[in-house]
Amino acid sequence: MEASDHPTDDFPHTHHVKAIGQNSDLLAAVRQAVAMHAPELPETAFSCRASREGRYLAVTCTLEAQSQAQLEAIYQALRSVDGVILCL
């Protein structure tokens, strides 16, 4: 299979990054981490959903990824955010 057979290898493309954690300030921390690598994102690019019991918060960021390197940098930044337990 050639690289062109994999749509996720083609950039730019829309990508959804999700961070899940317990930190009550998780949204602000995720915005700050992502902004280092995608500073042009509006606040509307981020959405939150609390778990059923409210213990966890999932923050989803929708962005136009420019490269694999950019995505890797974003995921690395999110893994270093205090309170993040999972990145998808």
The model carries a pTM of 0.84
| CA Rg value for the chain | 14
For residues 86 and 88, give the distance between their C-alpha atoms in angstroms, rounded to a whole number: 7
Q: Mean per-residue pLDDT for 34-40?
A: 96
Q: DSSP code of 1?
A: -
pLDDT at 7: 53
> Binning pLDDT at 50, 70 and 90, where does residue 24 land?
confident
39 Cβ contact partners less than 8 Å away, ≥ 6 residues apart: none
Domain 10-87 annotated CATH 3.30.70.260: yes
> How far apart (Å, rounded) are the C-alpha atoms in residues 69 and 24?
29
